[in-house]
Amino acid sequence: MPSCALAAPEIAISIDSPLALSLLVVFFFTCVQFWLHQDAHKRPFSSRILISMSAGALSAWVVCEKLNLSQAAELVALAILLCATLATISHIARLASFEGLRSLLLKEVAQKTITLEEKNLELKSTQRQLRIANIELKALSFTDALTGAYNRLYFDRQFLVEWQRARREQEPLSMILVDIDHFKELNDQHGHLVGDQALKFVTELLKRGFQRGNDIACRYGGEEFVILLPNTPPTQAIKRAEEVRKQIETTAFEQEGLKLSVTASFGIGGIVPQPHHEPLGLLHATDQALYYVKRNGRNGCRLATALDSEPTNHREESNVIG
């Protein structure tokens, strides 16, 4: 039986023509591109690569025609040379495009950085303005609108703070209550504008007379003021109170061309707080000293001594010393 073995087909490729050289260049160039960029199959096909391949194929055709090459070895060598040249040019172009992209990105990042810095400065400025506004708002909540002195709310807060500190440190804490004499008559005779000016005038003299760093002058209500004197014994507090009282008595203030004067009564209390003492005890005794002055001719100073008595709903004559 005759054998019917199949012979492998022989494919003969002629590479002695310009077309063959062009195809070789395209083939080698594609291989080099995949070797240089192993993830090229994941990227979209670049028009730059297509242009390079077309230019290489055209160059190979022209060179082959001009040199009239016919040997296969010469054609292959020329194809490899052209491929290497094109690959080098393509790589340089790619680096150049990367450098341009890098410059563009760096410029964009720099611009964004400048923008962020500007926004950061604006944010810091806004935060600073907010802090200032909060401080001003807090100051307004603790300040009497008419006189500019601290108000009753601030006194209530600071009184407890200073009381606790004095009890902890076993230091004296003194208090002065001040009341403008005949203030209602002043308002009735000259009007409320004059009364307001008198309040401002007394406030200014109180601030001048009690201006140590820890002295606290507050408008207690109406025509009454209260002074807190931390770390000050009552004997020293009454001396300072008498100095300010004399200044108020001997100094005139002007309102609408009129020179007017007022006097004030001072009640003084002081103590080194002990565990059994209460803050209201000091306030009550100081208030009684002030009331004693008001009942005995006004325009004077009295030092309270009955600091352990309980507060009452009305003022009583307290045990005081002159």
Do 253 and 310 lie in a common domain?
A: yes
Residues in the chain: 322
For residues 100 and 48, membership in a common domain is answered with yes
242 a catalytic residue: no
Locate the DSSP E strands across 110-215. Answer: 173-180
Beta bridge partners of 124: none
Give the mean pLDDT of the chain. 76
Domain endpoint, select from 75, 108, 141? 108
Domain finish residue from 108, 136, 167: 108
156 with 298, same domain?
yes
The pLDDT value given to residue 128:
84
- At 11 the pLDDT is 41
Q: What is the pTM of this model?
A: 0.58
Residue 289: give the domain boundaries.
Answer: 152-321
Shared domain check, 235 and 173: yes
Tell me, what's the pLDDT at 321?
34
Question: What is the pLDDT, as a whole number, of residue 33?
Answer: 56
Q: What is the DSSP string of 52-119?
A: HHHHHHHHHHHHHHHHT---HHHHHHHHHHHHHHHHHHHHHHHHHHHHHHHHHHHHHHHHHHHHHHHH
Q: How many separate domains does the chain show? A: 2
Q: Please check whether residue 130 lies inside any domain of the structure.
A: no
Q: Are 285 and 163 found together in one domain?
A: yes
61 domain residue, yes or no: yes
Residue 283, pLDDT above cutoff 90: yes
**Active-site entry in 223, 224, 249, 256:** 223
What share of the chain in percent tops pLDDT 70? 61
For residue 38, is it within any domain?
A: yes
Which among 47-56, 254-263, 301-310 has the top mean pLDDT?
A: 254-263
- The pLDDT tens digits of the residues spanning 119-137 come to 888 888 878 887 877 776 6
Q: How confident is the model at residue 117 (pLDDT cuts 50, 70, 90)?
A: confident
Q: What is the rounded average pLDDT of the residues 271-294?
A: 94
Q: Taking a C-beta distance cutoff of 8 angstroms, is the pair 161, 201 a contact?
A: no
Average pLDDT of 140-159?
A: 89
Range 289-299 average pLDDT: 95
Residue 205 and residue 97 share a domain: no
pLDDT recorded at residue 22: 57
For residue 142, being part of any structural domain is answered with no
Q: Are 215 and 229 in contact (CB under 8 A)?
A: yes
